[in-house]
């Protein structure tokens, strides 16, 4: 038999199997008379045909109300509706800067990120509860949200930014915060919990920047004050030095040396030369007072000039008298006595003093 099956072609075996399947289906299918929709029943020999009016016959001869099941009646005819997939929600909490030791004057920033993938409306977050803080105080809370694009979907990020302030030195902590939310189309309130943060509050830091800037400012002020003080001291020294230095002698003071020369000539007995020096002395003194060179002016011209100038009458008369006596000695041959010589020296000193006083006025 095995050798016969090996020699039989595969196609012949397939045809045989197909014919057997068709035969079985024909035998199992119900037979209906042509043009009739009534169920046809074949009675075997020895079986009794029931009464057509009996309920069993009526039920047997009734038309079927449901179609017969086909060969592939177990396969579904339509695909089931896809079920909604809830978004995956995550929460992450961290400190900025990420450390556990803060100074008393240093703010603490706590950030809580709530993220999910999908549409923005897939999740409806509620306002978070107030955080339980130990040795800390909440200064402010800022809420922000943004949508981050991803490959094939979107990522929604909601951030709760808490700014905290240390209250005192020692241990501090931020207890877990409960974040409540609802899913779109759902009525249940879900929640997530953040981490707990244990902190240590250190003493205040030295404000080195402020100290450095204050020191530099103080040094600048001290430097400026020192420079100003040194300048004022130098100016005071210059003023004191200038006050101690006598003023330069006036031309009339310098002419006192000319009178000493006249006295020396009179002592030596050179009378004409002494009176000639007296005349030059008077001309020089009047020139300093009137502003001009009177050395080569004649006696008459000098007298006329004195008459037209605003001079004190005593000064004018004394100068005229001295010049007349000098002319008598030089041109008239008058020999002055010792008293005349002493008198002309005294008149010259008085003339010099009057001109000096008038110049100071």
* Residue 289: inside a domain: yes
In a domain, 274, yes or no: yes
Residue 320 within any structural domain of the chain? yes
Residue range of the domain that includes 161: 89-202
Share of the chain above pLDDT 70, in %: 75
Parallel/antiparallel/unpaired status of strands 101-103 and 197-202? parallel
Q: Closest Cα to residue 335, out of 266, 259, 264, 280?
A: 266
Q: What is the DSSP string of 84-100?
A: PPPPPEEEEEEEES--S
Residue 304 placed within a domain? yes
CA 324, 327, 328, 330: dihedral to nearest 10 degrees? 160
User: Is residue 335, in this structure, part of any structural domain at all?
Assistant: yes
How many CB atoms within 10 Å of residue 277? 21
Does residue 321 belong to any structural domain of this protein?
yes
Nearest partner of 115 among 89, 94, 142, 153, judged by Cα: 89
On whether both 258 and 349 belong to a single domain, the answer is yes
Sequential DSSP letters for 48-60: PPPPTTSHHHHHH
**Angstrom distance (rounded) from CA 311 to CA 357:** 12
Judged against a pLDDT cut of 50, whether residue 145 lies above it is answered with yes
Cα–Cα dist 191/179, whole Å: 5
Model's pTM, two decimal places?
Answer: 0.41
CB atoms within 10 A of CB 108: 23
Integer Cα distance of 157 and 29 in angstroms: 65
Q: Is 141 helix (H, G, I), strand (E, B) or coil?
A: strand
User: For the chain, how big is the Rg over CA atoms in Å?
Assistant: 70
Are 262 and 177 contained in the same domain? no
Measured in whole angstroms, how far is the alpha carbon of residue 181 from the centre of its chain? 40
Q: What is the pLDDT of residues 57-68, one digit of tens each?
A: 443 444 444 444
What was the pLDDT predicted at 75? 42
pLDDT of residue 94: 93
CATH of the domain at 345: 1.20.120
CB 287 within 8 A of CB 301: no
Listed in sequence order, the residues at least 6 apart from 58 whose beta carbon sits closer than 8 Å to its beta carbon are 52
pLDDT tens track for 15-33: 656 566 545 544 444 444 4
Q: Average pLDDT of 113-123?
A: 87
Statement to judge: residues 259 and 354 lie in one domain: yes
| Domains in the chain, number | 2
Whether residue 177 sits in one domain with residue 258: no
Q: What is the CATH number of the domain that holds 186?
A: 2.60.40.740
Q: How confident is the model at residue 163 (pLDDT cuts 50, 70, 90)?
A: very high
User: Tokens 């207890």, residue?
Assistant: 175
With a cut of 70, say whether residue 71 has pLDDT above it: no
Distance (Å, rounded) from C-alpha 159 to C-alpha 91?
10
Tell whether 346 and 283 lie within a shared domain.
yes
> What is the pLDDT, as a whole number, of residue 84?
57
In a domain, 34, yes or no: no
In this predicted structure, the answer to whether residue 224 has a pLDDT above a threshold of 80 is yes
Q: Please indicate, yes or no, if residue 37 is contained in any of the structural domains.
A: no
């Amino acid at each position: 038999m095995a050798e016969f099956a090996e020699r039989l072609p595969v196609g012949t075996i397939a045809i045989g199997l197909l014919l057997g399947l068709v035969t079985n289906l024909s035998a199992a299918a119900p037979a209906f008379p042509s043009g009739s929709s009534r169920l046809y029943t074949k009675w075997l020999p020895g079986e009794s045909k029931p009464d057509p009016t009996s309920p069993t016959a009526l039920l047997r001869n009734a038309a079927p109300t449901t179609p017969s099941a086909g060969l592939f009646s177990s396969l579904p005819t339509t695909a089931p509706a896809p079920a909604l997939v809830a978004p995956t929600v995550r929460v992450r909490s961290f400190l900025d800067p990420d450390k556990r030791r803060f100074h008393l004057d240093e703010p603490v920033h706590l950030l809580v990120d709530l993220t999910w993938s999908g549409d923005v409306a897939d999740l409806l977050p509620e306002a978070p509860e107030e955080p339980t803080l130990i040795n800390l105080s909440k200064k402010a809370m800022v809420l922000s949200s943004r949508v981050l694009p991803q490959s094939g979907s979107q990522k929604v990020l909601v951030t709760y930014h808490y700014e905290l302030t240390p209250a005192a030195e020692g241990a501090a902590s931020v207890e877990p915060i409960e974040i409540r939310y609802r899913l779109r189309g759902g009525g249940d309130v879900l929640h997530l919990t953040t981490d707990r943060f244990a902190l240590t509050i250190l003493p205040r830091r030295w404000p080195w920047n402020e100290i450095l800037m204050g020191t530099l400012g103080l040094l600048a002020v001290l430097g400026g004050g020192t420079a100003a003080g040194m300048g004022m001291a130098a100016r005071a020294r210059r003023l004191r030095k200038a006050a101690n230095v006598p003023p330069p002698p006036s031309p009339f003071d310098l002419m006192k040396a000319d009178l000493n020369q006249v006295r020396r000539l009179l002592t030596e007995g050179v009378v004409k030369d002494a009176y000639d020096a007296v005349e030059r002395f008077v001309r020089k003194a009047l020139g300093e007072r009137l502003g001009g060179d009177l050395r080569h002016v004649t006696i008459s011209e000098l007298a006329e000039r004195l008459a037209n100038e605003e001079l004190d009458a005593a000064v004018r008369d004394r100068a005229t008298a001295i010049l007349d006596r000098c002319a008598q000695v030089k041109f008239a041959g008058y020999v002055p006595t010792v008293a005349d010589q002493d008198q002309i020296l005294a008149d010259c000193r008085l003339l010099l003093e009057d001109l000096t006083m008038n110049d100071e006025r």
